[in-house]
Amino acid sequence: MSLTPLRVTPLATRAAGGLAGALRARGWDTGTARTAAAGIASAAFRIEGLDTSVLEALVHFGGRLGLEVLTGPDWAVIAGSRSRISALARPWTVPEELRDVALQVGLALPAEPPPHWRTARGPLALAEPVVVGILNVTPDSFSDGAIHATPAQVVHHAAALLADGAGMLDIGGESTRPRRTGLVPAQEELARVVPAVEAVVCAFPDALISVDTMKAEVASAALAAGAAAVNDVTGLRFDPRMAEVAARAGAGLVIMHSRGTPLEIASDANADYGGDIVGAVIRELREGMDRAAAGGMDAECLVVDPGLGFSKTAEQNMFVADQLEVFQCLGRPLLVGPSRKRFLGVATGREVGERDVATAAACALAWERGARLFRVHDARATRDALAVARSFGESRPDS
């Protein structure tokens, strides 16, 4: 009898973009081609907490379905086409011993990417990459502190980000830089954020704005000033009122993965994931989604962010970035924020201000793995990299 709880964790493979393109080139419509390609594309899962009888049933039944099944004392890895994996994920057709496994595999299967993100200013279409331009109004940001201090400076920088391709602006009044020693009082954060939001709304009435805050009081005031969404780096762990505030405004809400207190989240102080960082991040993001639902949030208003640069070592950040496609099992659009982060510095040897090319490359790779929103400092470089990445995936050969 296994003492480990039953857990199913998706493992990354690569999308079948080439097959979909070949079918489109021969007359298939885009939707049908993508569906067919997704069914043939490979999928893999790690299943833990299995006793001997379940393992034996999985090997037998999985073999009948044409799946590859590798086993250990209380675990298995299964792999095969998504259509065959889907046949396993039907509790009403599998042997009784496999019903719990089938249910958990079904929950871990990747969902169809949502076509839009609902915000307080209307839906944001996600068929194309959305660059989210960072607009910090803090004196101590790790990358660009104290350079957008006045409303005029805020508007000037917002204009540049929008001209460079940003489809949304993320305004933040409290730095989450490593080694900070205290939180910004709510009144001080309000004095930074609200005038910035008001200035941008006045200058660019059609611009979508998210407010980067962990405080419900700040989120409420920013939404009243014209912001469309809230970006909570604590994943609703810090202020239990946040979901209610966002729900009441009909706002979009980004649930980011992090661990520990607000002063710890940008460090690796809580980076022990027991050898299963992807599975742990998925479970903890689900907990954030549950908190959002308990606060009245509609699922269509949620976006998830795996928290690159937060509560993870450089190596863990790189691994999570490479495995992004598995987060599609959460069924919500995926936002990533690799901009100028330390793990890119480790990979390139570049200092903070020299990491925009690496950021753009990371975003292009993230698009391929399923991300749809990209929070960055340099909108232009990222826009161009994403344009190329999208062209690779959407190209249609003549023959």
- DSSP secondary structure code for residue 2 in this structure: -
132: region left, alpha or beta (phi > 0 left; psi from -120 to 50 alpha): beta
Indicate the SS3 state at residue 5: coil
Give the number of other CB atoms < 10 A from CB of residue 52. 11
Q: Reduced to 3 states, what is the DSSP secondary structure of residue 131?
A: strand
DSSP state of 330: G
372 is catalytic: no
Nearest by Cα to 342 from 256, 255, 268: 268
Nearest to 370 by CA among 9, 27, 89, 10: 10
CA distances from 275 to 127, 272, 279, 319, 365 (A): 34, 8, 9, 12, 24
**From 340, 341, 355, 383, active-site residue:** 341
Q: What sign does the CA torsion over 318, 324, 325, 326 have? A: positive
Tokens at 24, concatenated:
């489109």
User: Would you state the structure tokens that stand for residue 161, as one six-digit string?
Assistant: 């980000």
Tell me which of 84, 121, 375, 383 is the catalytic residue.
375
Active site residue 375: yes
* Those residues with Cβ within 8 angstroms of residue 60's Cβ, 6 or more apart along the chain or in another chain: none
Q: How far apart are CA 328 and CA 270, in angstroms?
A: 24
SS3 of 254, please? strand
DSSP one-letter code for 172: E
CB 162 within 8 A of CB 154: no
Compute the distance between CA of residue 378 and CA of residue 339 in angstroms, rounded to an integer.
8
Task: Quote the tokens at residue 392.
Answer: 């690779």
Tokens of 164: 């460079």
Give the separation between CA 194 and CA 154, rounded to whole angstroms. 12
Q: Say which amino acid occupies 188.
A: E
Question: Is residue 289 within 8 Å of 330, Cβ to Cβ?
Answer: yes
Catalogue the active-site residues: 341, 375
